A = this chain, B = another copy of it.
């Protein structure tokens, strides 16, 4: 049983000592993945707002955003990951490491609005989802403006 688990983990590239320390390229790739999954979820909610509103689809999308928002992805902004490549070169601005107070405030606002969107999505109220989606998008944009370099 144990050897089967080890084999599975090796096959997945998840082997013991490899994760005693997270490689910078993995940290960058994983945070880009988190944002990518949220981008999909935001896009999907937008399609439901603009088109026919499928309550279950909106709930699933809001749940993904909420889980990632609450995951503590900030732990992936490790020292040495201000430069480097994950899926692509990181666009993290130096301010992430120098303006902690501002970043914490922006992150807190994002988390609050993400949790609120998940709460509202569960009610199935399309108009309320639309309003809350806008509030959440504002917090995304605010953080990108300050902490993410333009392409």
By a beta-carbon cutoff of 8 Å, the part of chain A in contact with chain B is 1, 4-5, 8-9, 11-14, 16, 19-20, 22, 26, 29-30, 32-37, 39-43, 46-47, 50-51, 57, 60-61, 63-64, 66-68, 70-72, 76, 87-88, 134, 137-138, 140-141, 144-145
CB distance B68 to A4 under 8 Å? no
CB distance B35 to A140 under 8 Å? no
Q: Is the interface of A mostly helix, strand, loop or mixed?
A: helix
| Copies of the polypeptide in the assembly | 2
CB distance B87 to A42 under 8 Å? no
In the A-B complex, list the 8 residue pairs whose CB atoms are closest, starting with the nearest: A33-B36, A30-B40, A67-B67, A87-B87, A5-B134, A8-B137, A63-B67, A33-B33
Q: How far is A56 from B37 in the complex, measured between Cα atoms in Å?
A: 22
CB distance B137 to A50 under 8 Å? no
CB distance A72 to B46 under 8 Å? no
Known: A37-B34, A137-B5, A137-B8. A68 touches B64 (CB 8 A): yes
Q: How far is A135 from B13 in the complex, measured between Cα atoms in Å?
A: 16
